[in-house]
């Protein structure tokens, strides 16, 4: 009898430490916290019920396991940010009546909220908005949760002129509850959960920037104004974050590229890079390293045409799908008449700069007859490609119009896919390690909506990539729908100084292009078979990679990549001829050394070469010249070591060896 009663009225709550407690059905998270301790009740901001975040005020009606989320927890910080977005929205609507609200999620380091308003916001409005937000926080209105009837809710928001919210509700699945949160007078449709009151948001927040964003991420829809903010648990965290951003901006590769005289860009060649001697030195060293890696990896290097007839691109399928981003060149002799039209007649034939290398590599594969014995055939190219990227997409070295891929295509049999994928991942891992990147994310990007090829083929391809990752025990996330139109891909993603993510390495499985371009090999039984094609790049774009490396190392590249590895600087002109001899010795050993015999103080020279991030400075004065020594000063240290010149040169040669 007692047992039966319990099952109706009581629930068992399991805490994270495994302890079980019994409460009356309908008990809320807050009540549970209060029953444990007063201080816990004070600190708690939400409750995780069976793994799902919920409001503390939500009655619990069944047996569950819970954990109480405090403001200090990682989940608590997410709530601070999300609630802060709501506070922002309330403040904006108070200050700018008629502004429509849309959505405001928390993101890494903060939150944003998208508004619709005829007048744009400007950063000058921030002070007023922040002040209003602080008032709302100070007021500390409780967040209360209500579940509304769908049609009531739509009517409510339509009446308020909140068309975007009404549209959101309309599009929510029928099964979804329509949850409305109130904070004082202000209401918003929201999935929740929220902290108990606006006061819990605290004041460690700051509005950062305004930006345009499309409604529902669709470029055909309305443009909204997005306000980004950052929010933290306390002022120290906020300050630390702001300092961190400031520091990161100092490593911006565009800034360092100019300061270190690596490259520049200009209007007349937007999206293309002018590599200066020092920048190009990095490139050449990196490319040479990659060549050694590829050669040992069984790749064969090739070079294919830059400009090819449009019918070639028609056959590959790019003409139809990507033409708007291709640079198309009329195949006509231009008019030479002064002041005349560029072309006398309407061009009939077109060529196009290659936007990628794959079809060209298929042409090489197709020359002659290939046997199963030739497979896998790995064709590699440092392929210079052109893509007419949208203006807004261009970004320093990271996104350019002319770029060089460390591209390769592996033609193999189906039963070789797994092994090739494994080899590729291993090679990529090794190269990233050599180049100083241990921190990257792997994404498995699966079939997009617009695609070619049967589902059976896609199943096979996606499984192939996943199996290889599993075999290697590499961690990965799945990004559904992000694959290429011809096949799924692995993307190796690296972050730049300020946390932006850039795709670098990629491995794409393709059963389609060999079919489309009619690539065949002769199998053991004499039959003609289609090879499978693996598109792969490790650095991705060499431009981008160098940009990321500059930021990662804050310009202080490892010795083997440093454009100038050593400067020999004199203290007085008495050491000039000795300094010249030291430079000759260094250069004879393959060290990139420069001579500085300018009539300047050694302080000045040290400062200048340090700012130029030269790894080694050999200082020579009268003493060193007489004793045939050099005073070595390494970048980042003010210690000096006086060493015999020949020993120093040999040591530096050793230290400057590339990792492979």
Partner RNA sequence: GCCGUUGUAGCUCAGGGGUAGAGCAACGCAUUCGUAAUGCGUGGGUCGAAGGUUCAAUUCCUUUCAACGGCACCA
Please list the active-site residues. 358, 387, 405, 407, 409, 489, 535
What is the Cα gyration radius of the chain?
31
CB of 61 to RNA, least distance (A): 39
List the interface residues with RNA, window 14-53 (CB under 7 A).
Answer: none
Task: Please pick, from the candidates 41, 265, 417, 567, the single residue that binds RNA as defined by CB under 7 A.
Answer: 265
Q: Counting contacts by CB under 7 A, is residue 12 touching RNA?
A: no
CB of 448 to RNA, least distance (A): 8
CB of 454 to RNA, least distance (A): 19
Task: Please pick, from the candidates 623, 628, 650, 660, the single residue that binds RNA as defined by CB under 7 A.
Answer: 623
Q: Counting contacts by CB under 7 A, is residue 602 touching RNA?
A: yes
Class of residue 434 by CB neighbours under 10 A (exposed 0-12, middle 13-18, buried 19+): middle
Tokens of 136: 């709302």
CB of 419 to RNA, least distance (A): 23
Q: Counting contacts by CB under 7 A, is residue 443 touching RNA?
A: no
- What letter does residue 73 receive in the DSSP assignment? S
Nearer to RNA, 287 or 608 (CB): 608
Q: How many residues does the chain have?
A: 660
Q: What are phi and psi of 505, to 5 degrees?
A: -70, 150
CB of 211 to RNA, least distance (A): 3
**CA 51, 55, 56: angle at the middle one, nearest 5?**
100
Q: Counting contacts by CB under 7 A, is residue 67 touching RNA?
A: no
Nearer to RNA, 141 or 635 (CB): 635
The interface region with RNA, picked from 89-97, 408-416, 457-465, 627-635 by CB under 7 A, is 627-635
Q: 542 CB contacts (<8 Å, ≥6 apart)? A: 283, 286, 287, 382, 403, 404, 405, 406
Nearer to RNA, 196 or 355 (CB): 355
CA pseudo-torsion sign 230, 494, 554, 281: negative
Q: Counting contacts by CB under 7 A, is residue 584 touching RNA?
A: no
Q: 112 CB contacts (<8 Å, ≥6 apart)? A: 85, 104, 105, 226, 227, 228, 229
CB of 538 to RNA, least distance (A): 15
Task: Please pick, from the candidates 604, 628, 647, 650, the single residue that binds RNA as defined by CB under 7 A.
Answer: 604
The separation between CA 569 and the C-alpha centre of its own chain, rounded to angstroms, equals: 40
Q: 82 CB contacts (<8 Å, ≥6 apart)? A: 104, 105, 106, 111, 194
Task: Please pick, from the candidates 5, 159, 336, 603, the single residue that binds RNA as defined by CB under 7 A.
Answer: 603
Measured distance CA(381)–CA(387) in Å, rounded: 17
Measured distance CA(283)–CA(261) in Å, rounded: 14
CB of 167 to RNA, least distance (A): 17
CB of 217 to RNA, least distance (A): 3
Pairing of strands 593-596, 566-570: parallel
The interface region with RNA, picked from 16-24, 279-287, 557-565, 610-618 by CB under 7 A, is 610-618
Task: Please pick, from the candidates 135, 395, 516, 653, the single residue that binds RNA as defined by CB under 7 A.
Answer: 395
Please answer whether residues 547 and 253 qualify as being in contact, where contact means their C-beta atoms are separated by less than 8 angstroms.
yes
Class of residue 7 by CB neighbours under 10 A (exposed 0-12, middle 13-18, buried 19+): exposed
List the interface residues with RNA, window 348-387 (CB under 7 A).
Answer: 355-356, 358, 387
Measured distance CA(383)–CA(637) in Å, rounded: 40
Contact string (CB under 7 A) for RNA, positions 121-160, x = contact: -x--------------------------------------
Nearer to RNA, 48 or 535 (CB): 535
Whether the bond between 437 and the residue before it is cis, its omega within 30 degrees of 0, is no
List the interface residues with RNA, window 307-336 (CB under 7 A).
Answer: 318, 321-322, 325-326
List the interface residues with RNA, window 544-573 (CB under 7 A).
Answer: 571-573
Task: Please pick, from the candidates 110, 279, 547, 621, the single residue that binds RNA as defined by CB under 7 A.
Answer: 621
Task: Please pick, from the candidates 45, 101, 507, 619, the single residue that binds RNA as defined by CB under 7 A.
Answer: 619
Measured distance CA(88)–CA(82) in Å, rounded: 10
Nearer to RNA, 425 or 619 (CB): 619
Site for RNA (CB under 7 A): how many residues?
A: 73
Nearer to RNA, 93 or 508 (CB): 508
Measured distance CA(636)–CA(559) in Å, rounded: 13
List the interface residues with RNA, window 206-225 (CB under 7 A).
Answer: 209-214, 217-219, 223, 225
* Residue 189: Cβ within 10 Å count: 22
Q: Counting contacts by CB under 7 A, is residue 610 touching RNA?
A: yes
Tokens of 315: 């056959």
Q: Counting contacts by CB under 7 A, is residue 607 touching RNA?
A: yes
Q: 114 CB contacts (<8 Å, ≥6 apart)? A: 102, 103, 104, 213, 215, 224, 225, 226
Task: Please pick, from the candidates 254, 366, 463, 587, the single residue that binds RNA as defined by CB under 7 A.
Answer: 254
Task: Please pick, from the candidates 20, 42, 601, 628, the single residue that binds RNA as defined by CB under 7 A.
Answer: 601
List the interface residues with RNA, window 504-543 (CB under 7 A).
Answer: 508, 535
Contact string (CB under 7 A) for RNA, positions 470-489, x = contact: --------------xx----
From the list 78, 58, 59, the residue with the least C-alpha distance to 69 is 78
Tokens of 538: 């490790």
């Amino acid at each position: 009898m007692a047992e039966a009663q319990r099952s109706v009225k009581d629930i068992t709550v399991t805490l994270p430490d495994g302890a079980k407690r019994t409460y009356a059905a309908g008990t809320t998270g807050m009540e549970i916290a209060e029953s444990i301790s007063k201080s816990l009740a004070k600190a708690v901001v939400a409750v995780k019920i069976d793994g799902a975040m919920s409001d503390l005020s939500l009655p619990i009606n069944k047996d569950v396991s819970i954990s109480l989320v405090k403001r200090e927890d990682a989940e608590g910080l997410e709530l601070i940010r999300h609630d802060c977005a709501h506070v922002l929205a309330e403040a904006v609507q108070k200050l700018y009546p008629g502004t429509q609200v849309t959505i405001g999620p928390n993101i890494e380091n903060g939150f944003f909220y998208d508004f619709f308003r005829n007048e744009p916001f400007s950063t000058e409005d921030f002070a007023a908005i922040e002040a209003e937000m602080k008032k709302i926080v100070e007021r500390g209105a409780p967040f209360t949760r209500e579940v509304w009837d769908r049609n009531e809710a739509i009517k409510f928001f339509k009446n308020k002129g909140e068309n975007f919210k009404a549209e959101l509700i309309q599009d929510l699945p029928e099964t979804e509850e329509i949850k409305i949160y109130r904070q004082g007078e202000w209401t918003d449709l929201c999935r929740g959960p929220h902290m108990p009151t606006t006061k819990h948001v605290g004041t460690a927040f700051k509005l950062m920037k305004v930006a345009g964003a499309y409604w529902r991420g669709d470029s055909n829809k309305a443009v909204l104004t997005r306000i980004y903010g950052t929010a933290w648990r306390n002022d120290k965290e906020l300050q630390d974050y702001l300092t961190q951003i400031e520091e990161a901006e100092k490593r911006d590769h565009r800034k360092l590229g100019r300061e270190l005289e690596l490259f520049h860009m200009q209007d007349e060649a937007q999206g293309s890079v002018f590599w200066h001697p020092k920048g190009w030195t990095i490139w050449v060293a990196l490319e040479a390293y990659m060549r050694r890696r590829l050669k040992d990896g069984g790749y064969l290097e090739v070079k294919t045409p830059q400009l090819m007839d449009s019918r070639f691109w028609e056959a590959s399928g790019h003409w139809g799908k990507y033409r708007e981003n291709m640079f198309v060149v009329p195949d006509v002799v231009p008019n030479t008449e002064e002041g005349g039209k560029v072309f006398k007649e309407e061009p009939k034939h077109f060529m196009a700069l290659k936007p990628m290398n794959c079809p060209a590599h298929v042409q090489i594969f197709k020359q002659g007859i290939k046997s199963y014995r030739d497979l896998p055939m790995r064709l590699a190219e440092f392929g210079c490609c052109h893509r007419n990227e949208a203006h807004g997409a261009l970004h320093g070295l990271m996104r350019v119009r002319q770029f060089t891929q460390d591209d390769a295509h592996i033609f193999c049999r189906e039963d070789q896919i797994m092994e090739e994928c494994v080899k590729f991942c291993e090679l990529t891992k090794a190269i990233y390690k050599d180049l100083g990147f241990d921190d990257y994310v792997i994404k498995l990007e699966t079939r997009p909506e617009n695609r070619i090829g049967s589902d059976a083929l896609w199943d096979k391809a996606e499984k192939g990539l996943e199996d290889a990752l599993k075999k290697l025990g590499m961690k990965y996330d799945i990004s559904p729908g992000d694959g290429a139109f011809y096949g799924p891909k692995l993307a190796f993603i690296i972050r730049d100084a300020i946390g932006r993510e850039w795709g670098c390495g990629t491995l794409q499985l393709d059963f389609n292009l060999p079919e489309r371009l009619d690539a065949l090999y002769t199998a053991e039984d004499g039959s003609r078979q289609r090879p499978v094609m693996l598109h792969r790049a490790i650095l991705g774009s060499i431009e981008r990679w160098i940009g990321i490396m500059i930021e990662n190392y804050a310009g202080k590249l490892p010795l083997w990549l440093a454009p100038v590895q050593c400067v020999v600087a004199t203290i007085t002109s008495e050491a000039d001829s000795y300094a010249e001899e030291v430079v000759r010795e260094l250069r004879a050993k393959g060290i990139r050394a420069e001579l500085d015999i300018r009539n300047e103080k050694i302080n000045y020279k040290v400062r200048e070469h340090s700012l130029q991030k030269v790894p080694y400075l050999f200082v020579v004065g009268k003493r060193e010249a007489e004793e045939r020594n050099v005073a070595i000063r390494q970048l980042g240290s003010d210690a000096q070591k006086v060493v015999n010149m020949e020993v120093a040169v040999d040591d530096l040669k050793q230290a400057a060896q590339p990792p492979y």
